[in-house]
Amino acid sequence: MLVAISATGPSMSDEVDPHFGRCPYFILVDFDTMKVESLVNSSATAGGGAGISTAQMIANKGVQMVLTGNCGPKAFEVLSAADVKVVTGVRGKIGDVIRGYKPESFQPVSQPSVESHFGMGRGMGMGRGMGTKAMPPSAPAPEPATPKQELEELKAQSQKLAQQLAEIQRRIEEAGKKEE
């Protein structure tokens, strides 16, 4: 079974990203062969439609299941149409998730876990009034994080924001060169 895990970075020590459409990476794991591949999510910084294009990319890779923190309605619709099962509420280090993977331990959801545009404006200056209100959970909420886990999550978020800022700076420089 080919599984895609939304990730904050390309390695096993990185965290599961809480956003499907705008996560910077996916870790693809073929649990039949145990082949692992890191995949850059080129739609992560898209102005709009990130969830849809990310879901299409994942479906085109032949993924059968997605493990992520949250999945919005448009991405969920594309994944469902491609018969890709979606598991939300996943958190922790990628390596730990892979080592602990058992098909019966992850229950696919039957609906998106957040409203449309949940991942928009995450420190990217997109003040378009996009909501971040979560939809009612379809499964019990995960246990509260320990202080150590919370610290690790905050560090991962900080690293992700730094990566996003670097990408924005690169795009600003690129746009400036085009104007010259």
Per the CB < 8 A criterion, the answer to whether 82 and 66 are in contact is no
Of 16, 12, 66, 47, the residue nearest 124 (C-alpha)? 47
pLDDT computed for residue 156 by the predictor: 67
Nearest by Cα to 76 from 7, 139, 85: 85
- Per-residue pLDDT tens over the stretch 122-165: 433 333 333 333 333 333 334 445 676 667 667 767 776 777 77
Q: Which domains does the chain have, with CATH numbers?
A: 2-143 (3.30.420.130)
| C-alpha dihedral sign at 97, 105, 19, 136 | negative
Q: Using an 8 Å Cβ cutoff, are 18 and 43 in contact?
A: no
Q: What is the pLDDT of residues 57-84, one digit of tens each?
A: 999 999 999 999 999 899 999 999 999 9
- 3 state SS of 117: coil
> How large is the average pLDDT for residues 10-29?
94
Range 40-65 average pLDDT: 91
Would you tell me how many other CB atoms lie within 10 Å of the CB of residue 11? Answer: 14
Q: Which residues contact 91 (CB under 8 A, 6 or more apart)?
A: 15, 16, 18, 69, 142, 145, 153
What single DSSP character describes residue 105? Answer: G
For 101, the token pair is 């993977």
Residue pLDDT, tens place only, 108-127 = 776 666 655 545 444 333 33
Main-chain dihedrals φ then ψ at residue 61, nearest 5 degrees: -80, -10
Q: Is the pTM of this model over 0.85?
A: no
